[in-house]
Structure 1
Amino acid sequence: MKEMKTVDAVGQILCHDITQIIKGVTKDAVFRKGHVITEEDIPVLLSVGKDHIYVWENDDTVLHENDAAEILRQLCQNEYMTASEPKEGKIELTATVDGVFQVDESRFDDVNELDDVTIATLPQNMPVKAGQKLAGMRVIPLVIKKDKMEQVKKVAGDKPLLRLRPYQKDIKVGVVTTGTEVFLGRIEDTFTPVIAGKLKPFGLKIDEHRITDDVTEHTRDAIRELVDLGMDMIICTGGMSVDPDDRTPAAIRDAGADIITYGAPVLPGAMFLLGYLTHEGRTIPVMGLPGCVMYAARTVFDLVLPRVMTGERLTRREIRHFGIGGLCMNCKTCHFPVCGFQH
């Protein structure tokens, strides 16, 4: 690449796109990389502020911005993603399925630490829809040394930096509603319809529902029954606080679940429980939902449900990491997941 006066550039080959910006009208390339400059092009180039122009000259030690961006794409793109054509040194990735978007944070940060390359993504663990933009990447200069891009590849490693976990299909959901007052019909069960509403956007429904009193063994038996009926996910409501007669956590444990966490650094949702049952080779997530899920717009359940639906087995540390961003601002108009909650 070499720089020369635009008025002297007739016959030369552009080595980058030339962008024209007219406020409220257009922001696009008037000439593309590889365009051979003609006499008629000179006034146009001058009108977009290009008194000098960069034209191509052979140099085997450097890569054009579009070619370098293609390397970044290869390092980032994974299954269930589609890539745009390089434009002005930038490539974007878009989701092809609904799911949860994830980034290998450590390697990703190491790549972005390097000079002259940049990758920007959606927040970690964000639920996304097919057709939604996931990431954009580009190199800063018009050309970049080949050995620099070799360094980028070495730092990134062999596995893609990004991942989109698709939602599993045909998940059967079982719900156990606990509470003697509900079991005996003293009050209406207003919690179960809320759960049904949370499941509906994901194409799920409540396949089996059991109501039990506050006897631990009864709740335990209801959970085991739902497991035997082939439920892929079990949700328990009621009895999740620290009151002596709140016994749902004990029932979940007695049913055989490995408790990952009882308590989460999320407000609303501090008394959330997550465990996993193993039955005939299947791993079944069991969630105990605190009462806030019944009345708060967004809670810990909204953070965990999408990830559980992908088949991901969350760890205690991942739940504890929710604390950064785990304070819901209770905005008058909820924009979740396009907000700071969790992220």
Structure 2
Amino acid sequence: MKVVPVQEAVGMVLCHDITQIVPGKFKGRAFKKGHIIQFEDIPKLLDIGKQNIYVWEINNGLLHEDDAALRIAKAAAGSGISLTEPKEGKVSLLAEEKGLLKVNVDALYSINELEEVMFATLHTNQIVEKGKVLAGTRIIPLVIEEDKICKIESICQTNYPLVEVKPFKSLKVGVVTTGSEVYHGRIKDKFGPVVMKKIESWGSVVSRQIFVSDSTDMIVDAINRLLGEGVEMITVTGGMSVDPDDVTPAGIRAAGGRIVTYGAPTLPGAMFMLAYIGDVPVLGLPGCVMYSKSSIFDLVVPRILAGEELSRRDIVKLGHGGLCVNCKECRYPDCGFGKSL
């Protein structure tokens, strides 16, 4: 910071707000802290009695807050991301489309460990809508050494992308609905419509629903029929508890399912099963998916639709944040459910 004559301040950054007072008419901020002095500003500064002003001098080794924030954001942004213009030194990252938000958390920590910068994001692995603000970045002072921004750009390049939105694939989905009471028409199926509505809201299509009784052989047959029809994901609803007549897990295993997990550290959703037959994910859905506004289903399926193959470790990590507190008005995904560190 230094004091310079107004006439010599063009291109330099104002270190403080400058107030203008016009008796009986106006009192307020004429120039804002961080403003880059322009040639046309000189007459106004002189008119309000400013012969000399305090400025930061921008030189080859320093960057203004707007330029610094824009460079950080550009380095961090991957596909599906748009940037706002710098405003008050901050640049926001927005979703260009609906999809799955992915944040490289370790790289984010590395950036925020550096002094004089900040980068804040939403939690990774959540559904985001087009236009949603996903992240924001800025520097803390008005100006910063360019070397620090170069270091951040290097972190982003090594860990690219820091932030991205993965679009959802449109999958052909098959639904197997278990339960003798539904199969024999004693009660109306209420599980299938819930699953179908969510799948379709994410851009995929349910090609067929098959009803079966509580029979391992019938479940195997239904899964094989759907695979033969070329489905790309299968959900098997119901029959996931430990009751003797709940045979869905056995049916998925007998159909050749490679089990990733039977059980998940989430509530609701503890009795969830994830398996793969070839590259086709097969999901055993517990009853909570039918009546809970958000559940394990909402945490896992969007990641599958974004092209990810989930591991046992991915499911285990859901335990931190895996407790839904059943808010009176469900705000998912704008809540902590499923948001692990």
Q: TM-score range by the shorter chain?
A: 0.7 to 0.9
Are residue 230 (structure 1) and residue 227 (structure 2) matched? no
Q: Is the 8 A contact 1:76 1:162 kept in 2?
A: yes
CA distance in 1, matches of 2:138, 2:186: 62
Q: TM-score w.r.t. structure 2 length?
A: 0.87
TM superposition shift of 1:206? 2.3
Range moving further from structure 2, 182-191 or 261-270: 182-191
How do 1:160-239 and structure 2 match up within 5 A? 160-169=161-170, 171-239=171-239
CA distance in 2, matches of 1:268, 1:27: 53
Q: What is the root-mean-square deviation in Å for CA atoms of aligned residues?
A: 2.7
CA distance in 2, matches of 1:19, 1:87: 16
- Aligned residue pairs: how many? 326
Residues 270 and 121 (structure 1 numbering): CA distance in 2 closer, same or farther, change over 3 Å?
same
How do 1:180-329 and structure 2 match up within 5 A? 180-278=180-278, 283-329=279-325
How do 1:81-230 and structure 2 match up within 5 A? 81-158=81-158, 159-169=160-170, 171-230=171-230
TM superposition shift of 1:133? 1.4
TM superposition shift of 1:201? 2.2
- Unaligned runs of at least 5 residues, structure 1: none
* Amino acid across the alignment from 1:333: E
Q: Is the 8 A contact 2:200 2:206 kept in 1?
A: no
Residues 236 and 54 (structure 1 numbering): CA distance in 2 closer, same or farther, change over 3 Å?
same
TM superposition shift of 1:192? 0.9
TM superposition shift of 1:229? 0.6
Q: Is the 8 A contact 1:81 1:95 kept in 2?
A: yes
* Amino acid across the alignment from 1:248: T
| Matched position secondary structure for 2:43 | coil
User: Counterpart of 1:38?
Assistant: 42
TM superposition shift of 1:139? 1.4
CA distance in 2, matches of 1:28, 1:261: 63
Residues 19 and 124 (structure 1 numbering): CA distance in 2 closer, same or farther, change over 3 Å?
farther
| Matched position secondary structure for 1:39 | helix
User: Counterpart of 1:340?
Assistant: 336
CA distance in 1, matches of 2:334, 2:49: 40
Deviations, residues 134-184 of structure 1 (Å, cap 9, x unaligned): 111111122212222333334444222112111113x21110011122212
Q: Is the 8 A contact 1:14 1:32 kept in 2?
A: no
Residues 28 and 172 (structure 1 numbering): CA distance in 2 closer, same or farther, change over 3 Å?
farther
| Matched position secondary structure for 2:240 | coil
Quote the sequence identity (%). Answer: 41
Which ranges of 4 or more aligned residues in structure 1 deviate by more than 4 Å? 16-21, 26-32, 42-46
CA distance in 1, matches of 2:47, 2:89: 25
Q: Is the 8 A contact 1:10 1:39 kept in 2?
A: no
Residues 45 and 13 (structure 1 numbering): CA distance in 2 closer, same or farther, change over 3 Å?
farther
CA distance in 2, matches of 1:90, 1:125: 24
CA distance in 1, matches of 2:155, 2:263: 37
* Amino acid across the alignment from 1:143: V
CA distance in 2, matches of 1:227, 1:268: 28
Are residue 9 (structure 1) and residue 13 (structure 2) matched? no
CA distance in 1, matches of 2:187, 2:48: 75
| Matched position secondary structure for 1:40 | helix
TM superposition shift of 1:340? 1.2
CA distance in 1, matches of 2:64, 2:91: 14
- Unaligned runs of at least 5 residues, structure 2: 20-27
